[in-house]
Structure 1
Amino acid sequence: MVRTYKKKSSRGSWSKESMKQAIVAVLSKTMGYRKASQLYGVPQTTLERYVVKTRKSEVSLNSTPGNFKPVFSKKEEDELVRYIKEMKKRLFGLTTVVLRKLAYQLAEKNSKAHNFNHDKMMAGVDWLKGFMKRHPDLSIRKPAATSAARAMGFNKVAVDKFYSLLGEIYDKYNPDRIYNCDETRISCVSKTKSKIIAEKGRKQVGSLLQQNEGRRSPLKYVLMQLELTCLPC
Structure 2
Amino acid sequence: MNAGNEKRKYGQWSEIYIQAAIRVYRGGNIGFNEVCRQYRIPKPTFRRHLKSLNVHANKERKILGRSCTFSEEMETELEQHILKLESIFFGITITEVRKIAFEFAERNGLKHNFNTTNKMAGKKCFYAFMRRHPQISLRQSESTSIARCKDFNRANVDKFFDILEKLVDENALTAPKIFNVDESGFSTVQKRCQKVLAKKGKSQVGVLSSGERGVNTTFVCCTSAAGQYVAPMLIFKRKRMVPGLAEGAPPGCIVQISDTVKPTNEDKVLLILDGHTTHSRNLAAIELARENGIILLQLPGHTTHRLQALDVAIFKPLQVYYDQAVEKWLREHSGQPVTQF
Rg (Cα) greater in structure: 2
Equivalent of 2:75 in 74, 77, 89 = 77
| Contact 1:22–1:47 under 8 Å retained in 2 | no
Compare 87-96 and 61-70 and name the one that shifted more.
Answer: 61-70
- Look up the match of 1:152: 150
Partner-residue secondary structure (3-state), 1:179:
strand
1:103, distance to aligned residue in structure 2 (A):
1.3
Q: Which has more helix, going by share of residues?
A: 1
Q: What amino acid maps onto 2:97 in structure 1?
A: L
1:180, distance to aligned residue in structure 2 (A):
1.7
Structure 1 pair 217/68, CA: closer, same or farther in 2 (3 Å)? same
- Look up the match of 2:86: 88
- Look up the match of 1:46: 45
Q: Write the deviation string for residues 158-180 of structure 1: whole angstroms up to 9, x where unpaired.
A: 22221222234445556664322
Partner-residue secondary structure (3-state), 1:102:
helix
Q: Which has more strand, going by share of residues?
A: 2
- Look up the match of 1:22: 17
- Look up the match of 1:179: 179
1:127, distance to aligned residue in structure 2 (A):
2.4
Unmatched 5+ residue regions in structure 2?
187-273, 293-341
TM-score (norm. length: structure 1): 0.60
Q: What amino acid maps onto 2:20 in structure 1?
A: A
- Residues 113-128 of structure 1: pairs in structure 2 closer than 5 A: 113-128=111-126
- Look up the match of 2:105: 107
- Look up the match of 2:134: 136
Q: What amino acid maps onto 2:80 in structure 1?
A: R
Partner-residue secondary structure (3-state), 1:140:
coil
| Contact 2:69–2:111 under 8 Å retained in 1 | yes
Unmatched 5+ residue regions in structure 1?
1-5, 187-215
1:142, distance to aligned residue in structure 2 (A):
1.3
| Contact 1:104–1:122 under 8 Å retained in 2 | yes
Partner-residue secondary structure (3-state), 1:141:
coil
Structure 1 pair 14/58, CA: closer, same or farther in 2 (3 Å)? closer
* 2: CA distance, partners of 1:107 / 1:26: 36
Structure 1 pair 8/57, CA: closer, same or farther in 2 (3 Å)? closer
TM-score (norm. length: structure 2): 0.44
Structure 1 pair 62/87, CA: closer, same or farther in 2 (3 Å)? farther
* 2: CA distance, partners of 1:7 / 1:230: 80
Cα RMSD between the aligned structures? 4.2
* 1: CA distance, partners of 2:91 / 2:149: 14
| Contact 2:56–2:62 under 8 Å retained in 1 | no
* 2: CA distance, partners of 1:168 / 1:227: 20
Q: What amino acid maps onto 1:22 in structure 2?
A: Y
Structure 1 pair 160/73, CA: closer, same or farther in 2 (3 Å)? closer
Count matched residues. 190
